[in-house]
Structure 1
Amino acid sequence: MSPIMLLLPVLLPILGGAAMFVLPAQNTKQREVYVQLFTCATSILVAVLLWNRPSGTAVVLDMGNVQLALRLDSLSVVFAAILAVLWPLAVLYSFEYMRHEHGENRFFAFFTMTYGVVLGIAFAANAFTLYLFYELLTLCTLPLVMHEMDGQGRFAGKKYLAYSMSGAALAFISMIFLMQYGSLDFVLGGNLSKILTVGHENTLRIAFVLGFFGFGVKAAIWPLHGWLPSAGVAPTPVTALLHAVAVVNAGVFAILRLTYYSYGTNLLQGTWAQDLVMAFAVITIVYGSAMALRMQHLKRRLAYSTVSNLSYILFGATLMSPGGLAAALCHMVVHSFVKIILFFCAGALLCQTHHKEYIFEYEGLGKRMPITFGVFTFASMALIGIPILPGFASKWAIASHAAMYNNPLAWAGVAALMISALLTGLYQMGVVVPAFFPRKGHQEPDWAVSVTDPGWRMVASLLVLCVLVLALGLGADWLYSVLTRVAAGLV
């Protein structure tokens, strides 16, 4: 198969979403058929490309020193597969959720375009292409964050833009150093010139750190995480998109590229640069979990949970070894599936309770919404890391690999994982237990009498995701063996 075929799943949703501004749908049913058609067609194209992977690079635009180019390598396969599976389910869920909102045509136009942009990040053959689509991702998701266009929405949008642009500036500086001392192409092991880097190693380590924190904005590394909880004012499909599938994973994916495919671990391992980025990942793991426990607003609690879990992935990545990369990818896959379930449950609660947002308001609702809270409980156990479920396997992979290192920071990371697991149990069960076991004498509010589980679209999305998470847990050994081959560049 020709590499130029990689352009199709990138352009199809971008053009399909843009067309909705020119020819808006006449009614809800027409819009839903149109959006799901483009989404499913894109996922099918991705599946075909993953099954029959094209070799070589598709150069879309050659500008001399830089190229707009696409390639499907081992790392691309993982990110693209996550997107291809989760996006159609997110769209199906969104159809029901957005019937309670306004501006549906604008929402679905940007939602569809974002799919193509994130696939552009997944398929990027070099740092320039990744950076270009990374910036487009900010522009496509900004209207989604600001969807309500009220005071909170505008503030969240401005904050998201300020953080993203600041991070992009740091990432751009890092990219310039890559171009000066080597090549922008992604090559497993790094692509810096051995001749040019002699005597400039510390300069390049500084450039790597700038790039790490630049891309770390979208990966919500402390203290650059502030935009993520604020973005929770957006409709729940958007926050699920931000926290589980597209935006945060794009930040993590960019850091993996920067570490393993651009600067290379030979330059970084055992240096102050590795210690610095690992220390911030360890701090963020505990900080995010501790903040989640404090939050009584459900979406903010889940947002801080995301902050913590993203740094599980970054901690694995900062071990700077094939085993660390495999463990990081394992948690990236698991967290994507588990966290989107939790946000979908939060969205179902918002819809069915007429936008009750705080955890104490859900007390006793387990009997009114048994499917929603049953699914939430299942996903919570997966996130905590109960054995058999996939969260246990991914956390075990990170911790066991870190424990092998004769590095106090790596051991501190293992301790942080244990503390975070305890805190995760407390903040997730803090939602589940009151819902199923209200306090003695609890008086059910009048509005709760009419509360039920959501419609079939939301329920179907939740149940399919539960099956997929269970499959990930039962097939954890297979998944980790595949990702080990990915980390070694053998897939």
Structure 2
Amino acid sequence: MENIYIIIPILLPILAGALLFFFPIKDRKRRNIAVESLVIVNSAISLGILWAGSKESLILFELYKNVSLLFRIDGLGMLFGTIVSTLWPLATLYAFEYMTHETRENTFFAFYTMTYGVSLGIAYAGNMMTMYLFYELLTLVTIPLVMHTMIPRARRAGRQYAYYSIGGAAFAFTSLIFITVYGEGASFAIGGVMDHTLVDDNILRLIYVMAFLGFGVKAAVFPLHGWLISASVAPTPVTALLHAVAVVKAGVFAVLRLTYYCYGTEILKGSWAQDIVMGIAMFTVVYGSTMAVKEVHFKRRLAYSTISNLSYILMAATLMSPLGMIAAMCHMVAHAIGKICAFFVSGSVMFKTGYHFIPALDGVGHQMKKTFLTFTVSAMSLTGIPLTIGFISKWRIAKAAFAGETLLSYGVVIVLFYAALMAAIYMFTVVIRAFCPEKGKERLIGGDTTDPTWRMLIPLGVFAAAMIVLGVHSGPLLDFLEQVAAGSI
């Protein structure tokens, strides 16, 4: 148990959140200081552990023979853990102001903080058993966040989220059994851990497709995406959490683990299983981006955009190549930053104006200049305009697709261009309405309606700056991702 320190960033937020739930702090200022301090300290510990370069493992306990609760940090875990650890303090700071309009704040921040620890548990997991455990815990701690307002729509959304997630868990559990038996409970390893000589290849491929769909529930693949749209009823800090940082990223992270670290691409590439999962991802990209153009509710439009962008990641991953893996990881980063910024802008607008629908945003940009400036940067990145990280990630997806030299991989390029066009429409429509409304259609909001306070603006400014910095100086990130794909980290 020499490496027990590995689980500190996981347990600390879970225990602190549980304490806040059972022993609420009535004074809002004291509670906010305590929560933010805890999250910042935990992020510092987590980032220190992630980037210390340790390859050591921690077996917390063995369940049965080779089945253990194993924690080990590798390159992919470092990437996901860094995304979570970096974004969470800023998301929490934003939530302090937003939640002043809501009730039961202690309950909200209790589960919000616990979700932080559970998400890091997924990142730090060293084998499928451990990842699956925290993956299911993530469902349990986020259901109360989806249902937070307890209005009828929120309760229905929470139930739908639970039904979808439990169904997906059943599919994923089948794969867990196969990996445990035929992979001997081994820790994740690039190239896969399965012994393909012990079972028919087509059976393994069938189980892989089932697991892809199971983990694909949280990644919102069509037709398992419905819960994500319904969950938009949750408070915006939760919506951003679901759509950008923890839940949906856990879904694509699990698929990357499944594909490159459990099964390996050798048995999957060129098979009917690859065709099926790639086809699902491609269709989801087209469907999500098309529906986003049609949607006029601000948050739901961004939700459909999330559905599309998550399958960008899956589309790249299912190319089953090192270049595909690099592209998938790059878009994980690009989408996490771009989408949390976009959702936080929508939350800021609703917080200040009460407007939920895009036609109501005519001229609002002139009263909330800083807020909509950050949204413009987010729109540029999610569309894939040069000098932003979104351009880098989409370029990498196209590069990986061209290298595939198959009919389906060339189809990925066509889908990519179509979705980019749709993204330009559904994102810049908001920007144009906000800054350049048709004459006579400007919304006369109250004169005191301006940009929100620093607690909302600081996270937005950091996200916007990150999209540009990573876009013009992407070398270190890409070097790291290449090392991850090569298995050297």
Q: Does TM, scored on the shorter chain, surpass 0.5?
A: yes
Residue 458 of structure 2, aligned match among 438, 460, 465: 460
Q: Which residue in the other structure is 1:395 paired with? A: 394
Q: Which residue in the other structure is 1:158 paired with? A: 159
Q: Which residue in the other structure is 2:366 paired with? A: 367
1:86-125 → structure 2 map (5 Å cutoff) = 86-125=87-126
1:372-451 → structure 2 map (5 Å cutoff) = 372-442=371-441, 444-445=443-444, 447-451=445-449
* Partners of 2:443 and 2:226 in 1: CA distance: 35
1:18-37 → structure 2 map (5 Å cutoff) = 18-37=18-37
The more displaced of 64-73 and 388-397 is 64-73
Q: CA deviation at 1:139?
A: 0.4
CA contact (8 A) 1:182 1:196 kept: no
Q: Which residue in the other structure is 2:237 paired with? A: 237
Q: Which residue in the other structure is 2:485 paired with? A: 487
Q: Which residue in the other structure is 2:9 paired with? A: 9
* Partners of 1:236 and 1:367 in 2: CA distance: 23
3-state DSSP of counterpart to 2:266:
helix
1:126-205 → structure 2 map (5 Å cutoff) = 126-184=127-185, 185-197=187-199, 200-205=200-205
Write out per-residue CA displacement over residues 204-254 of structure 1, whole angstroms, 9 at most, x where no aligned residue. Answer: 100000100000000011111111011000000000000000000000000
1:71-82 → structure 2 map (5 Å cutoff) = 71-82=72-83
CA contact (8 A) 1:166 1:214 kept: yes
Write out per-residue CA displacement over residues 1-46 of structure 1, whole angstroms, 9 at most, x where no aligned residue. Answer: 9532111000000001000022211300111011112111110111
Stretches of 4+ moved more than 3 A in 1?
447-450
Which amino acid is the alignment partner of residue 71 of structure 1? Answer: R
Which amino acid is the alignment partner of residue 349 of structure 2? Answer: L
Which amino acid is the alignment partner of residue 437 of structure 1? Answer: C
1:31-46 → structure 2 map (5 Å cutoff) = 31-46=31-46
CA contact (8 A) 1:3 1:55 kept: no
Q: Which residue in the other structure is 2:257 paired with? A: 257
Distance 1:2 1:486, change over 3 A: farther
CA contact (8 A) 2:363 2:442 kept: no
* Partners of 2:88 and 2:20 in 1: CA distance: 18
CA contact (8 A) 2:377 2:467 kept: no
The more displaced of 47-56 and 333-342 is 47-56
Distance 1:2 1:386, change over 3 A: farther
TM-score, L = length of structure 1 = 0.97
Distance 1:429 1:448, change over 3 A: farther
3-state DSSP of counterpart to 1:480:
helix
CA contact (8 A) 1:2 1:55 kept: no
1:349-364 → structure 2 map (5 Å cutoff) = 349-353=349-353, 355-364=354-363
* Partners of 1:5 and 1:393 in 2: CA distance: 36
* Partners of 1:53 and 1:23 in 2: CA distance: 37
CA contact (8 A) 2:361 2:443 kept: no
Q: CA deviation at 1:443?
A: 5.0
Which amino acid is the alignment partner of residue 306 of structure 2? Answer: T
Which amino acid is the alignment partner of residue 457 of structure 2? Answer: V
Q: What is the RMSD computed on CA atoms of the aligned residues?
A: 1.2
The more displaced of 32-41 and 83-92 is 32-41
Write out per-residue CA displacement over residues 129-160 of structure 1, whole angstroms, 9 at most, x where no aligned residue. Answer: 11100010000000000000010100100110
3-state DSSP of counterpart to 1:435:
helix
CA contact (8 A) 1:327 1:480 kept: no
Which amino acid is the alignment partner of residue 482 of structure 1? Answer: F
* Partners of 1:444 and 1:243 in 2: CA distance: 29
* Partners of 1:20 and 1:335 in 2: CA distance: 31
Which amino acid is the alignment partner of residue 151 of structure 2? Answer: D
* Partners of 1:127 and 1:188 in 2: CA distance: 13
CA contact (8 A) 1:334 1:394 kept: yes
Q: CA deviation at 1:452?
A: 1.0
TM-score, L = length of structure 2 = 0.98
Q: CA deviation at 1:51?
A: 2.7
CA contact (8 A) 1:281 1:315 kept: yes
Q: CA deviation at 1:54?
A: 2.5
* Partners of 1:443 and 1:119 in 2: CA distance: 45
Q: Which residue in the other structure is 2:48 paired with? A: 48
* Partners of 2:50 and 2:7 in 1: CA distance: 14
Structure 2 gap segments, 5+ residues each: none
Which amino acid is the alignment partner of residue 393 of structure 1? Answer: I
3-state DSSP of counterpart to 2:243:
helix
Q: Which residue in the other structure is 1:474 paired with? A: 472
CA contact (8 A) 1:3 1:54 kept: no
Write out per-residue CA displacement over residues 401-441 of structure 1, whole angstroms, 9 at most, x where no aligned residue. Answer: 10122211111111000000000000001111011111112
CA contact (8 A) 2:296 2:358 kept: yes
CA contact (8 A) 1:14 1:116 kept: yes
3-state DSSP of counterpart to 1:157:
helix
* Partners of 1:114 and 1:385 in 2: CA distance: 30
Which amino acid is the alignment partner of residue 212 of structure 2? Answer: F
Distance 1:352 1:191, change over 3 A: same
Which amino acid is the alignment partner of residue 287 of structure 1? Answer: Y
Which amino acid is the alignment partner of residue 397 of structure 1? Answer: R
Which amino acid is the alignment partner of residue 144 of structure 2? Answer: P
1:203-282 → structure 2 map (5 Å cutoff) = 203-282=203-282
Which amino acid is the alignment partner of residue 490 of structure 1? Answer: S
CA contact (8 A) 1:2 1:54 kept: no
